Structure 1
Amino acid sequence: MYDNCNNQGVDAKLRYTKMRDALEATGRKIVFSICEWGQNKPWEWAKDVGHLWRTTGDINDSWNSMVSIAKRTMELADHAGPGHWNDPDMLEVGNGGMTNLEYRSHFSLWSIMAAPLLIGADLRKVSPETFEILENREVIAVNQDKLGVQGKVIRSEGGNFVLVKPLSNGDKAVLLFNENDSATNISVTAQELGLTKAVGYKVRDLWAKTTAHTAGTISAALPPHGSAMFRVSAAKDWYAYPPAITTAADGEILYPGALPIVQPGKSVTYTTSVSNTGRLPIAAVQATLNVPQGWTAKATSSSFKPLLPGEKSFRTTWQVTVPPTATPGRFPINASFTFHSPHDTNPVTRQYTAEALVPGPAPKGDLFVSDLKWLRSTNGHGPVEIDTTNGEGKQGDGGPITIRGKVFAKGLGTHAPAQIEYYTGGNCSKVTATVGIDDRKVNPLSLVSYEVWADNTKVYDSGPVNGTDAAKSLEATVSGATVVRLIVRDGGNGKSYDHADWGDVRISC
């Protein structure tokens, strides 16, 4: 790997081309990795210079870092191919900053993007679960397929992604990926995948290691940050495999990707579902829903289906009531399903766990937002900082919030893209702040926008803000909102100079 640190202003193309020539002059076979963090768009010129090139800045062992790098690399699929690869940086699998579920999504994304699978963990210290992820030969086979095509996004909406990678034997690898903090169902058709029309298709789940058949729809119920990876092919003997069945339980949410908030003393609707995407029927389908002690769940539609034909779904709605005395926290909502499949002598049982979030008390008074506990936060580099600017690394490494010479003792330090969410319970009316790029981090490439959302309604948009713009006074009406979201978006240049401050950000409740 040839890094671009301390480059003394030498043009990147010239620097890396000279190194290529020097390596070729040795007469040895050497893999040349270009690491200038995507700043000079190497995907446009480095095909004949190196074998792989970094697409972004450095990855760190966090969900937000991994996802932001993955999404940037997804956009570059057309530039990859045999001998010239997009490199989204090393794998963080096993380093401890993410869950095993998130690491599985991480490994799946890198694999379907035909990215180099460079292990970044100390294998002397990782868990058995880490080895299960890193040693999944069927997923690795997708990554290493000799056709050498990077998987492409064929659909992306609200943090839900469908990526498809053609394979050398005619199969299609497909990844269904849920970026969000709430569960979702994602489906795609064989026709969308580019497969030839057939009576039935063979679907291999590369993580569950099960094989089923479908009439043409491939689907998965995905938990927050979850994914499902399949290998799909047209099959004349489709009937030799059981029908593909997807089971799920979903609660009402305020907006796409929202946390599953349930408020004490109120009821919320959950829906259990059984989807048969195969051609053969299943029978005696029974759904049940179990809730925490003291809560109640009442079916408001039938929970039993004698026969569920192929290509049909069965849904049951449930009224879940939370007691007024419910304590704040995250609680499991457990769905259980049983049914008879034509390929199983015994009843099949499926489990699905959804989640309910009981928030703490809604705020009251005229308050600094930085004194409140947020529901969740994401940040482009490092953590969101409280009452200091963002330093890109660990918590507390930023200095005072300073915008155009004015220092703010209170506020939030973020780096695009960022989002902070607060539970307001309909109690609050207004958000005010002074916003702008931090003085010590101003760069000609700094470019962001600030937004405030009241549930699913955008109530403020700053428009583009660069490093030389005067500080902006922000005022947004959030009356009646259950959740208030403070968002910073990257201006579109993908650079690492977007240190976006929220000075004296207040909320009136």
Structure 2
Amino acid sequence: MAAASVGSGALADTVAATPPMGWNSWNFFAEKVTDADVRAAADALVSSGMRDAGYVYVNIDDGWQGERDAKGVIHPNARFPDMKALADYVHSKGLKLGIYTSPGPKTCAGFTGSLGHEAQDARSYADWGVDYLKYDLCSFIEDQMQAKAPHDPAQQMRLMTGAYERMHDALAATGRPIVYSLCQYGWDAVWEWAPGAKVGGNLWRTTGDITPEWDRIYAIASQQAGLASYAGPGHWNDPDMLEVGNGKLTPAENRAHFSWWAMLAAPLLAGNDLAHMSPEVKSILGNREVIAIDQDPLGKQATRAYAEGEVEVWTRPLQHGGMAIAVFNVGSERHAGTHPFRLNLAALGLHGTQQGKDLWSGKPVSLADQQTIALARHDVWLVRVDAPH
């Protein structure tokens, strides 16, 4: 029987050969999500063209769970009358369904968790037709780690990794390919142990939760520095879901946020109200050339080449020797307006004028050493160079 996801194995590469793309309900609907919301998101992924651009996972986050029956089988709550029918609907659209639970007794929002019912729940998910599981540590921390080993970090670590191993084994036993997403906020250098054969993680959160604010987005992006060597086909660092189109993010901030996640080979899980997004947000999420950076088959995550004042330059190697270069103006509120910046090609390992393409304007560009770039606050200049020298 094939394993559901085995981290460094062949099937894991199959289910997450490139970073997963899709939509997650939490950032907009939180625990109030309904069957109708999920169906509307599936419809919008198709009608907007996002499905054809690669967004295929429709992920239900916290809030779908009801109670267990006398045999311990989990049932959805009244907002989700028939999970199998919902999965069938999502699949009929050429999409895949994701779901959420916790290894603790309760989820983050207080719904029924999977503690002691891992195998039962995995079978239910497989029977429904689930293709993706987000496993969020939540109450396991207090109920198991702190309760059983309050002063023993090493034992807490063993308890935590054991919880993720049990669900991995339960998913594997179903024989259904299911993307396995670990959510434990980047604790205990998760990137070092999550992709191993025992845990079998396809992606793992590297930080706490994202919010639709520039300072939080920038803080999370900054924390990805140094993690590039852990990412690759079948196993990805996850800086959390996209906030593009949420809150009061400006167009520049939405572009920069999306560009950064693409450079980081991050999962691209839209978190906005797809059924009511603006044309501008749709154009950002649907930019196929930026998506191609994220989905580049080489699977190499970007690294920060250098920073100069309030400007950061990140580079990402691409398949066939190409390179993506992203210049971010991360300036604070008190430094509004454009920020002049001189590009240092030598610091990127490049020599002489480079020919590339600006992926937001769609125009060809020449990159010369020490050329001045005027970049607005919290905006990005994202260039693809297919033949760097």
TM-score (norm 2): 0.57
Task: Give the 3 Å change call, closer, same or farther, for CA 217–21 of structure 1 in structure 2.
Answer: farther
> Where does residue 459 of structure 1 map in the other structure?
none
Distance 1:14 1:209, change over 3 A: same
Aligned-residue Cα RMSD (Å) equals: 1.9
**Structure 1 residue 4 corresponds to structure 2 residue 155:** no
Q: 2:243 aligns with which of 75, 92, 115?
A: 92
How many Å separate the matches in 1 of 2:387 and 2:298? 19
2:291 pairs with 1:143: no
Which residue does the alignment assign to 1:70?
221
After superposition, give the CA deviation of every residue in 1:177-230 in whole Å (9 maximum; x if it has no partner). 1111323233434443334x56x4212100011003344556531111111100
Please give the alpha-carbon distance, in whole angstroms, between the structure 2 residues aligned to 1:31 and 1:9. Answer: 25
1:224 aligns to 2:377 (yes or no)? yes
The offset of 1:30, in angstroms, is 1.1
Q: Which residue of 2 aligns with 1:423?
A: none
Aligned residues of 2:321 and 2:388 also touching (Cα < 8 A): no
Distance 1:218 1:170 in 2: 24
The answer on 1:213 being equivalent to 2:361 is: no
Matched residues in 2 for 1:235 and 1:105: separation? 23
The structure with higher relative contact order (CA 8 Å, sep 6+) is: 2
Q: Distance in 2 between matches of 1:57 and 1:212?
A: 37
User: For the residues of structure 1 that align with 2:372 and 2:172, how far apart are their CA atoms?
Assistant: 48
In structure 1, what is the Cα distance between the partners aligned to 2:193 and 2:341? 36
Question: Does structure 1 residue 169 correspond to structure 2 residue 302?
Answer: no
The answer (yes or no) to whether the contact 1:176–1:229 under 8 Å persists in 2 is yes
Distance in structure 1 (CA, Å) of the matches to 2:371 and 2:176: 46
Write 1 or 2 for the structure with the bigger share of helix. Answer: 2
Distance 2:317 2:347 in 1: 12
Which stretches in structure 2 are left out of the alignment for 5+ residues?
A: 1-133, 146-158
CA distance in 1, matches of 2:361, 2:186: 35
Residues 187 and 20 (structure 1 numbering): CA distance in 2 closer, same or farther, change over 3 Å?
farther
Between structures 1 and 2, the one with greater strand share: 1
Aligned ranges 1:81-480 → 2 under 5 Å: 81-181=232-332, 182=335, 183-195=338-350, 197=351, 200-216=353-369, 220-234=373-387
Aligned match of 1:496: none
Partner SS for 1:73: coil
How far apart, in 1, do the equivalents of 2:237 and 2:310 lie?
22
- In 2: Cα distance, 1:101 partner to 1:77 partner: 25
Q: Do the aligned residues in 2 keep the contact of 1:201 with 1:233 (CA within 8 Å)? A: no
**Compared with structure 1, are the counterparts of its residues 121 and 224 closer, same or farther at alpha carbon in structure 2 (3 Å cutoff)?**
same
Distance 2:315 2:227 in 1: 14
SS in 1 for 2:275: coil
Amino acid across the alignment from 2:347: E
Q: From the superposition, tell whether residues 226 and 232 of structure 1 become closer, same or farther in structure 2 (CA, over 3 Å).
A: same
The amino acid that maps onto 2:135 is Y
Name the SS for the 1:68 alignment partner: helix
Shift in alpha-carbon separation, 1:208–1:160, aligned structure 2, 3 A:
same
Larger Rg: 1
Letter in structure 2 aligned against 1:194: G
Q: CA deviation at 1:42?
A: 0.6
Per the TM alignment, residue 126 of structure 1 is displaced from its structure 2 partner at its CA by: 1.3
Give the Cα–Cα distance (whole angstroms) in 1 for the partners of residues 322 and 373 of structure 2: 19
Asked if the contact 1:190–1:218 (Cα under 8 Å) also holds between the matched residues in 2, the reply is no
- The equivalent of 2:174 in structure 1 is 26
Number of residue-to-residue matches in the alignment: 234
- Which whole-Å CA distance do the structure 2 matches of 1:105 and 1:202 have between them? 22
Helix, strand or coil: the match of 2:168? Answer: helix
Q: CA deviation at 1:75?
A: 3.3
Distance apart, 1:235 and its partner CA: 7.6
Which amino acid in structure 2 is aligned with residue 9 of structure 1? Q
Seen in structure 2, the aligned counterparts of structure 1 residues 235 and 59 have a Cα distance that, compared at 3 Å, is closer
The DSSP-based 3-state class of the residue aligned with 1:202 is strand
Aligned to 2:231: 80
CA deviations on 1:134-190 (whole Å, 9 max, x unpaired) are: 011111000100000000001024332110000002111010011113232334344
CA distance in structure 2 between the partners assigned to 1:154 and 1:27 by the alignment: 42
Structure 1 unmatched runs, 5+: 237-509
Structure 1 residue matching 2:218: 3-state secondary structure: helix
The answer to whether the Cα contact below 8 Å between 1:105 and 1:227 also exists between their aligned partners in 2 is yes
> What one-letter code is carried by the residue in structure 1 that aligns with 2:138?
C
Tell me which residue corresponds to 1:375.
none
- The equivalent of 2:9 in structure 1 is none
Q: Distance in 1 between matches of 2:348 and 2:331?
A: 23
How far has the Cα of 1:78 moved from its partner? Answer: 2.2
Q: Distance in 2 between matches of 1:24 and 1:227?
A: 41
Residue aligning to 1:505 = none
After superposition, what is the alpha-carbon deviation per residue over 1:80-117, rounded to whole angstroms, capped at 9, x for unaligned? 11111111111001113211111111001101000000
TM-score by length of 1: 0.44
| Distance of aligned partners of 1:135 and 1:59 in 2 relative to their CA distance in 1, 3 Å threshold | same
**3-state DSSP class of the match of 2:223?**
helix
| Contact 1:43–1:86 (Cα < 8 Å) also in 2 | yes
User: 2:113 matched to which residue of 1?
Assistant: none
Query: Residue in 1 aligned with 2:17?
Result: none
